[in-house]
Amino acid sequence: MDLKTLTYLVVGATFALYIGIAIWARAGTTKEFYVAGTGVHPIANGMATAADWMSAASFISMAGLIAFLGYDASVYLMGWTGGYVLLALLLAPYLRKYGKFTVSEFIGERYYSKAARMVAVLCLVVASITYVIGQMKGVGVAFGRFLEVDYHTGIGVGMAIVFVYAVLGGMKGITYTQIAQYCVLIFAYTVPAVFIALNLTGMPIPQIGLGSSMADGSGMALLDKLDLIVTDLGFAAFTAQKWSTLNMVLLTLSLMIGTAGLPHVIMRFFTVPKVADARTSAGWALVFIAILYTTAPAVGAMARLNLMNTIQSGPVGSVDGNMVYADRPSWFKNWETTGLLKFEDKNGDGRVQYYNDKSEEFAAKAASFGWQGNEMVKVDRDIMVLANPEIAKLPNWVIALVAAGGLAAALSTAAGLLLAISTAISHDVIKGMIAPDISEKKELLASRLAMAGAIVVAGYLGMNPPGFAAQVVALAFGLAASSIFPALMMGIFNKNMDNIGAIVGMLTGLLSTLLYIFWFKGWFFIPGTAMAANTPGNWFMGISPEAFGAVGAMLNFTAAYVVSKFTPPPPEHIQHLVEDIRVPMGSGSASSH
């Protein structure tokens, strides 16, 4: 059977599964729609959280980032997992005890302020929409490469699938679909990794294989070999640190508290039956996430090794040490047609030279070999995971599986984000502000309409991505880290935090982070309006805009604390509320009252 038919079959089967689950898990009440009736088993919720969290970026882009950044990519590995420790210890159990439907609802009630609730809703919607755009693009790309359909058609099909199970099932439908999607995506990610690890080191477990010796008879450790190969070609060593220590610490911290403050993740913990379940469920979520996140470094390093070895097939500088372009493997040709891989024969020798021509030290050496510049003018990071099965010569069904896995990762995250957006609109804005007396049936209808609207907007933005789509990921984490996380944490751990302190803190964190990002990336990301070039030399103490969320959060904490010392403490019933959420007893289930 040819690859295309096989891919259609595998992807079609997974889609049929998602739709089947949606019909089985229809939501009949707002409680089912918002929090899946709080009846989700902690392990099941952990699996759904993992699928919710791991997006197209985790599945497709992360290993590619590691392949080219090496050690420095550790900030993403630690940042996107360490946040779950904060979530489990500082937020999830208490917000589950509070027992309402949304994050903004907690902020509004805890700080007895509609303004605070609105700030939270605004941060939530901006953060979620920026994220959804990326997922929709991921769906379009995956369809385009594997099913050879038009990018726009791909997004259209993706929208239709999400529409069916999200609008019909709400949180309940999304949760059970995400469990299925997790199984598909983790299988698709680990199978190629196992084969490649086995191939290179003779060890089938990628996490151990990465620390093993090469199976090529040299007895050299894989990572040492990789360091040697890349430094021989003028690149920085794979395991060496390239970024400043302060920037790495702050970026990791920003990603961690940003993760813990992202509403679509927090609201997953409202679905479990008990407070104790919220704690263990965060642990299970991290187990399922860690399976992929500890495999990714192996995939990244091994893919880089395979790529370098394919192109630089013999000793550096020898006449026949480089791959002959005419003899390039078929995966090379396939990716050339997509434009993600590009070759230019600068010295006209018909062979491919791939080296770091920015290294002055290496330039003289390269010139003596007769090399006239790096000829791999484009190597897109994203092809690392997608091309992996082909590079390792794995059977076609594995390639079809990777396509289904990429789609599962993108669709599951998109659905979680869309639910966060529609819940904010129907519960926080319509029920919370405009029409508090709305009946449950009408609220359920409103949330379905909001969901449908959100899907259309997300699809439109995916088809016509604004030029700044890549930039705004920093914004999503910056917003969550500098405004939502501190407000939630102080609401639980500081009984005396009052409304004015919290609002001043949120605005301080929010505005300082926005200012810093816009200063280097342009006001509202409009090109040409940046106040200073986005280079390490200009950054304040060498802190990149992506890493500033942690600083914004510290400013938030400080401002809120100082202001709360000079303003009246919260009323007694709020202090009782805080005391009450600190103990698990009497949790009951989430309700709207």
Partner 1 sequence: MSDQNSRQAYWKANLRLVALCLSIWFVVSYLFGIILVDQLNAISLGGYKLGFWFAQQGSIYVFVVLIFFYAWRMNKLDRQFNVHEE
Q: Which of 67, 77, 116, 133 binds partner 1 (CB under 8 A)?
A: 77
CB atoms within 10 A of CB 253: 22
Q: Which region, judged by CB under 8 A, interacts with partner 1, from 65-73, 134-142, 470-478, 515-523? A: 65-73
SS3 378: strand
Using CB under 8 A as the binding rule, the residues of this chain from 208 to 237 that contact partner 1 are: 208, 210-213, 221-224
Contact residues for 238 (Cβ-Cβ < 8 A; gap 6+): 70, 71, 223, 226, 227, 230, 301, 304
For every residue of 86-101, DSSP letters joined together read: HIIIIIHHHHHHHT-S
Q: Which of 6, 17, 78, 215 binds partner 1 (CB under 8 A)?
A: 78
Using CB under 8 A as the binding rule, the residues of this chain from 530 to 589 that contact partner 1 are: 579, 582-587
Least separation in angstroms between CB 455 and partner 1: 33
Q: Which of 64, 138, 258, 297 binds partner 1 (CB under 8 A)?
A: 297
Q: Tell me whether residue 459 or residue 549 sits nearer to partner 1 (CB atom).
A: 549
CA 593 to CA 588: how far, in whole Å? 12
Least separation in angstroms between CB 229 and partner 1: 15
Using CB under 8 A as the binding rule, the residues of this chain from 237 to 276 that contact partner 1 are: 239, 241, 245, 248-249, 252-253, 274-276
Contact residues for 170 (Cβ-Cβ < 8 A; gap 6+): 27, 32, 33, 34, 36, 419, 447, 448, 451
Identity of residue 238: F
Q: Check binding of 64 to partner 1 (CB under 8 A).
A: no
Least separation in angstroms between CB 140 and partner 1: 31
Per-residue contact string for residues 13-52; x = within reach of partner 1 by CB under 8 A: ----------------------------------------
Q: Which region, judged by CB under 8 A, interacts with partner 1, from 5-13, 171-179, 284-292, 565-573? A: 284-292
Q: Which region, judged by CB under 8 A, interacts with partner 1, from 89-97, 347-355, 459-467, 532-540? A: 89-97
Quick one: tokens of 112?
């007895």
Buried b (16+ CB within 10 A) or exposed e, 475-500: bbbbbbbbbbbbbbbbbbebbebbbb
CB atoms within 10 A of CB 205: 17
Q: Which region, judged by CB under 8 A, interacts with partner 1, from 288-296, 313-321, 441-449, 511-519? A: 288-296
Contact residues for 20 (Cβ-Cβ < 8 A; gap 6+): none
Name the residue with tokens 């040490």. Answer: 321
Q: Tell me whether residue 285 or residue 484 sits nearer to partner 1 (CB atom).
A: 285
Least separation in angstroms between CB 74 and partner 1: 4
Helical residues (DSSP H) of 240-274, grouped into ranges? 245-261, 263-266
CA atoms within 13 A on the CB side of 467: 7
Q: Tell me whether residue 333 or residue 582 sits nearer to partner 1 (CB atom).
A: 582
Residues engaged in binding partner 1 (CB under 8 A): 66, 71, 73-74, 77-78, 81-82, 84-85, 88-90, 93, 207-208, 210-213, 221-224, 239, 241, 245, 248-249, 252-253, 274-276, 279-280, 282-283, 286-287, 290, 293-294, 297, 579, 582-587
